[in-house]
Amino acid sequence: MSSEKFIKNKTALITLIAACVVVLISLGVRQTFGLFFMDFKNDLDISITQSGLAIGIQMLMWGLTGPIFGAIADKYGGHKAICLAFVFYILGIYFLYAGPNTGIFFQIDLGLLVGIGLGGTAISIPMSIVGKHFPLSNRTIAMSIVTAVGSLGYFISPLYTSYSLIKNGWVDTLFVFTIFLFIGLIIAFFVRSPSAAQSIEKPNNQSAIEAFKEAFKNKSYILLVSGFFVCGFHITLVGTHVPKYVIDRGLESWTAAAILSLIGLFNIFGSLLSGYLSTKISKKIILSSIYALRGISIILFIFLPASNINAFIFGASFGFLWLSTVPATSGIVAHIFGTKYLGILYGIVFLSHQVGSFFGAFLGGLFHDLYGSYDYAWYLAIVLSIFAAIIHLPIKEEAVLRLKTE
């Protein structure tokens, strides 16, 4: 971390804290959907494939609306984009328990509406706004703090949800989620973009269209977009289908909840370490290593005998690698192109992530219903780990000529 003052002004501090809480709530709710699958199947007659499809649609909408909310945030302010997204998120969860919530409405509620909500409330937009408040020397640290604190939601929410589903049932559990989302809506008002006087970047007249063209002419950006597809596939396959997978292997449902919580807990440390290392060594090396280690973690998980100990080791190891890709990935985007259009440009990278998430959610459910197991989904995840580990190595971490001459 640079020796210069980390927090430049009061707005930066408030934005950092508010963004952390927003992401904590948003991701905390999102992390638990896999725990509801059996309730949806028993009470709503929703198959595993249908649930997987809804999560896949959710991931696509999350990715597709990310650049839109990014554009709104870049032009009108981060708080307006995030508050608008929370409205969709709340409506999706409300209709999911209050109805209509069967057939196509299940896909609309859990897939479309919640996906749109995640597009503006989950990591990419709040983190991009925070990134605008910090110089290059400290930016990845600030972004990693948002990711790490948000991971507390990953840790706490599955524990509460697992308890509440048994004690209160799935309807009341989702009702409590809407209360937390309303709290997030209020806090989102304080996630403020820096004013012209507070901006840490020199003003420039580049338009959004010019930023798009500049990005897609850059080979490193294309490689980053391609690699982040794999991240989405991995985390959604694990987050959505591991609960059913461990039950299929003879373990208890509480083990599934423990895995998800361990992912959240160890993700805190992995995200912070990734942010710190990004200030010391090449970000592309960090990313390549993370994807390679994910492949190893999956191999050990599926080929070792099923046991609580092995399941917990997987949760801890994969959690350490969970969102540790985010500070380094977003940091490369900001370093190459600057922060003026960081919301849009990182939003496009994240769109690729969410396309991968769609396939991770949908193919996991499809393979399970077709073949009675998740084996082929895991094999594909391992192959993609190798692909991602290789594809990040040619990335050039250098600013575009425009920034060098400003």
Q: Can you give the pLDDT at residue 49?
A: 82
Q: How many residues does the chain have?
A: 406
Q: Is residue 2 part of a domain?
A: no
Amino acid letter, residue 213: K
Structural domains counted in the chain:
1
In 3-state terms, what secondary structure has residue 206?
coil
Q: Can you give the pLDDT at residue 182?
A: 97
Chain position carrying tokens 């896999």:
34
- Closest by CA to 22, choosing from 165, 138, 130, is 130
Q: Is residue 5 part of a domain?
A: no
Q: Is residue 1 part of a domain?
A: no
Q: Can you give the pLDDT at residue 60?
A: 86
Q: Is residue 3 part of a domain?
A: no
Amino acid letter, residue 218: N
Return the number of other C-beta atoms located less than 10 Å from residue 384's C-beta: 24
Q: Can you give the pLDDT at residue 338?
A: 81
Q: Is residue 295 part of a domain?
A: yes
Q: What would the pLDDT profile of 62-115 be if each residue is shown by its tens digit?
A: 988 988 898 898 888 889 999 999 999 999 999 999 989 998 999 999 999 999
Q: Is residue 188 part of a domain?
A: yes
Domain of residue 73 covers 10-199+206-405
402 confidence band (pLDDT: 50, 70, 90): low
Q: Can you give the pLDDT at residue 280?
A: 87
- Closest by CA to 300, choosing from 280, 286, 315, 278, is 315
Calculate mean pLDDT across residues 277-287: 91
Q: Where are the alpha helices (DSSP H) in 249-324?
A: 253-277, 283-303, 308-320
Q: How many helices (DSSP H) and strands (DSSP E) are in the chain?
A: 18, 0
Residue bearing the bigger pLDDT, 201 or 64: 64
229 confidence band (pLDDT: 50, 70, 90): very high
Q: Can you give the pLDDT at residue 204?
A: 67
Chain position carrying tokens 């060594």:
281
Q: Can you give the pLDDT at residue 3?
A: 46
Distances (CA, A) of 372 to 52, 233, 368: 15, 20, 5
**The domain that contains 40 carries what CATH number?**
1.20.1250.20
E-only strand ranges, 192-351: none
Distances (CA, A) of 36 to 97, 173, 179, 280: 11, 10, 18, 41
Of 126-130, 147-151, 158-162, the least confident = 147-151
User: DSSP secondary-structure letter at 306?
Assistant: P
Q: What would the pLDDT profile of 297-345 be if each residue is shown by its tens digit?
A: 999 999 999 999 999 999 999 999 988 898 889 889 888 888 777 778 8
